[in-house]
Structure 1
């Protein structure tokens, strides 16, 4: 598995991250095989959140790997906090309590990366800074990032937070690519020209923040996957054609499309199917041509002015 530096850190991470949101759908033996397969593929980066399964997913993961000091050093663990029932909460008190809960459930002394999950309208960046300082000085968290944030929200945090923001987890897929398409359609009078995220992709590239695309196979918010979906005949025909040329699956090509972008993204998978997991990891070895990338882009309904 190819690796990249996560943001401005010196942390080498695999180009494909393994999302654990659905690991509570697996029996213990299945979870053990799933995690072991990911590790065998070189995909040792596992993405969690304290709300996944209301914390159960982190517990299942720790049990599945038989967490101990030796195993812990073989993997990179990322988790997220800030979502509470009916609200978002970036208060110092909540961040610190959340991390303690995450560490207890994962049976570890530290997180490699902590992300703030969803923007809190009532955020006080001074409190976030205090929480980050305590987490870093105590050794509980080594790197920090955000999720679903646009440039000025990150800038507001950076006014007080001294730790580098190394990652921003954002919804992005071939069919959910407005952060790419609006840049192609600058100054055009069409729907694709609407900038809904304040040029977050360019901002992350300018500031060396690694974009972690979540739901890389979804269309809409959570309406379903676009692969093998009759709603996207042209897109699937093109992906299948290119997949056949490379001798890989359509799953591999969907991830390879994200990896081809020069931003140096780290897609977060969500599958609990071992075969699809392996197909996702194979994308590390596929480098689409510029023409192939644009053919897929256009087949998804994106226009070139």
Structure 2
């Protein structure tokens, strides 16, 4: 009797394990696993803002320890690392402007856009709140604002220009003819560092509405936030137009896989490489 009960219990456990553990893992690549993408975007944007906002906040808390060059190069290195270690899961957008650009190119489904935008804003906000708690200074020191010597219009133009270059690099390295795989991470990270080195004095070189939103929300200071929303989106739209002029329509296999990752990739133009 004991042996029979043990066999029955073992069979019940085996069935439970098959249904609850084995089957979901076997379906890992299913589009239903959207939560994996969203967690990736939350965590990736969190890491980006930890270094992007953390540089300015640490410099305020510990004067003379972090140079401007270090502040603007660190986000580029972090983005490079994030793309390398989880680009295959979500595409590692980390930036609402990038998500919109990929969708306009036809490489990323529009139905996934709202989730990605919320995930990016959430990751940035969590990072800013953590930094404020750990470092003990206002998150305003980690945000982006136009330089006092520049007008908001000049900062807007700089953000649009820098984002035009950033999104052009991202779309170019994702295209079928020029897809360079993991080396795309080097191109994107290198561009972010370079753009920050020369463009940050005017606008801070955010190029990312989420990166600025997080510290602004944590400090409740949305002064001139429109610059860091409208500037990157304008630059991204211009980059999409330029990509069409240079490469034609998107939606091919290479661009879709780069934009979406490898989980349930949807291809709008399967005949296109």
Shorter-chain TM-score: what band? under 0.3
If each structure's helix is expressed as a fraction of its own residues, which one has the higher value?
2
Relative to total residues, which structure has the larger strand share, 1 or 2?
1
Q: Larger radius of gyration, structure 1 or 2? A: 2
TM-score by length of 2: 0.26
Question: Per chain length, whose mean CA-contact separation is higher, i.e. which structure has more relative contact order (CA < 8 Å, sep 6+)?
Answer: 2
